[in-house]
Structure 1
Amino acid sequence: MSTERPTFVLVPGAWHLPSTWDLLRGELDALGYASRAVKLPTTGPDPRGGLRDDAEVIRAAIETIGGPVVVVAHSYGGIPATEGVAGLPNVQHLVYLAAYVPDVDESLIALHGAPDPESSEGLFPIVSDPRAQLYADVPRAVADLAIGRLVDQRLQPFVDRVTRAAWHTVPSTYILTERDASLPVELQEQMATRAKHIHRIPTSHSPFLSRPAELAALLDRVARG
């Protein structure tokens, strides 16, 4: 492993903009890490494209970084990260944070055991109760801000199937959120077996908002190997 300190590339989940990572980025900065948060094309305010578009943006962001990279993908972000990170030599580690871990020819919908919809056009609706489902343990003011920043999300990338699975060749860690009301813990447990290492954190779906300092310390340990 390189002794050079890696840059963190942060991939948000559905409906979320790069600003969702701001608190965690502040904590990573305090620990001496540079970080970049990716804007996914399939996420609003003007959503377009599908899985391949999201994967290409992640890949392009990594390719601009000269040194080692640790990719942290949250929720849906695990899908395009799995596709986009494959084959990049400077990716030191891939962290799935309450995230989907697809294999080749799997999609987000397939991981839930659901059939493909008749049409993949249009938007996937925001969860009915974001505070309860996404931010249950997040301080109220922080949760209010996060809810106000939620944007549209295209359905297409939830249906698109992965063609490359980076976790087969890139060292990986799964961080399982034990009080998650969005991504079922049972499904997280199943997907986590695909990672090399598993850590657990007693939070809801968004520990980067509820416990950013604790999450940053955990990511520091992961980055140090």
Structure 2
Amino acid sequence: MHRIAHSLALATLWLAGPASAYAKEQEAKPTIILVHGAFADSSGWNDVIARLEKKGYPVIAAANPLRGVASDANSISAIVRSVSGQVVLVGHSYGGAVITEAAHGNSNVKALIYVAGFLPEAGESSLSLSGKFPGSTLGQALMSVSLPDGTTDLYIRSAKFHDQFAADVPPARTALMAATQRPVSQAALAEPSRTAMWKSLPSYVIYGSSDRNIPAAAMKFMADRAHARKTVVIANASHALMVSRPTEVAAIIEEAASAD
């Protein structure tokens, strides 16, 4: 009996070693915080999340209020502060402006990743950057809704959603995306950014050559200006990269998260 107990104890210690090492490895991985942009919601990241979690990354798909750059950044910053370890911030579209500001003052942010996302300089807005180069057709696709407080919400018209936002996504899925889209405040798109954290943090950029919301020329300009550590351009891809190209998006996130 004593010999059996001794053997079991040794086996427990042997198993505890690999388990402990695995736990430390998981703990060491940075938390990925995904921030959606206008006309989308957190579910757009689902396929990216599945790939990242399979690799052992903790993931938070934040609900971006889409009310204003400063206030939205404060909401995301609170989530960043709630994480004890390192964080990688990922922003899609308008969410890029939000993560650029949310990183300010948070020393645990390791990197910024822009998925067809804005990289504004202080004083620039999403609206000014999207119009800096020709090619965006977003204006013609929008409908506005006046709110009781005097502000205006913007939606992409359902009939135009597929071609405008996600032309490389099956129509059945874009119909659901159109129906569940979250509006952005018109004021949020025009609100100037106050800081440019891509100047002090490693930045990664991925975008599609057929983006109709943010022209590819604008994305190239912003990536070059930020001296992005890596820029990936996906031929013929739409604005909705996290939906249409989740493998490529997850890959650049993992590269940034594992970089020294």
Counting only pairs closer than 5 Å after superposition, residues 155-166 of structure 1 correspond to structure 2 as 155-166=186-197
TM-score of the two chains, using structure 1 as the length reference: 0.87
Task: Point out where structure 2 has 5 or more consecutive residues left out of the alignment.
Answer: 1-24, 134-149
1:124 pairs with 142, 154, 157, which one?
A: 154
2:53 pairs with 23, 29, 40, which one?
A: 29
Corresponding residue for residue 94 of structure 2:
76
Whether the 8 Å contact between 1:21 and 1:208 is mirrored in structure 2 is: yes
Q: Does 1:6 align with 2:30?
A: yes
Distance in 1, Cα, partners of 2:54 & 2:170: 21
For residue 134 of structure 1, report the CA deviation from its aligned partner.
Answer: 1.3
Distance in 1, Cα, partners of 2:247 & 2:206: 15
1:146 pairs with 171, 177, 200, which one?
A: 177
User: Structure 1 or 2: larger helix share?
Assistant: 2
Distance in 2, Cα, partners of 1:168 & 1:178: 25
Distance in 2, Cα, partners of 1:31 & 1:195: 28
Distance in 1, Cα, partners of 2:205 & 2:114: 5
Q: How many pairs are equivalent?
A: 213
Whether the 8 Å contact between 2:115 and 2:242 is mirrored in structure 1 is: no
Distance in 2, Cα, partners of 1:137 & 1:110: 26
- Runs of 4+ aligned residues of structure 1 deviating over 3 Å after TM superposition are none
Q: Does 1:63 align with 2:97?
A: no
Q: Does 1:209 align with 2:257?
A: no
1:171 pairs with 202, 211, 235, which one?
A: 202
For residue 217 of structure 1, report the CA deviation from its aligned partner.
Answer: 2.2
Corresponding residue for residue 191 of structure 1:
222
Question: What secondary structure sits across from 2:206 in the alignment?
Answer: strand
Question: What secondary structure sits across from 2:45 in the alignment?
Answer: helix
Task: Point out where structure 1 has 5 or more consecutive residues left out of the alignment.
Answer: 43-48, 115-119
Counting only pairs closer than 5 Å after superposition, residues 41-60 of structure 1 correspond to structure 2 as 41-42=65-66, 49-60=67-78
| Larger-gyration structure (1/2) | 2
Q: Does 1:38 align with 2:56?
A: no
CA pair 18-8 structure 1, distance change in 2 beyond 3 A: same
Distance in 1, Cα, partners of 2:76 & 2:203: 17
For residue 166 of structure 1, report the CA deviation from its aligned partner.
Answer: 0.9
Corresponding residue for residue 96 of structure 1:
114
Corresponding residue for residue 103 of structure 2:
85
For residue 113 of structure 1, report the CA deviation from its aligned partner.
Answer: 4.3
Distance in 2, Cα, partners of 1:218 & 1:77: 17
Q: Deviations over 1:25-72 (max 9, x none)?
A: 111111211111111223xxxxxx422110101101111111111111
Corresponding residue for residue 117 of structure 1:
none
Whether the 8 Å contact between 1:142 and 1:209 is mirrored in structure 2 is: no
Percent pairwise identity: 31
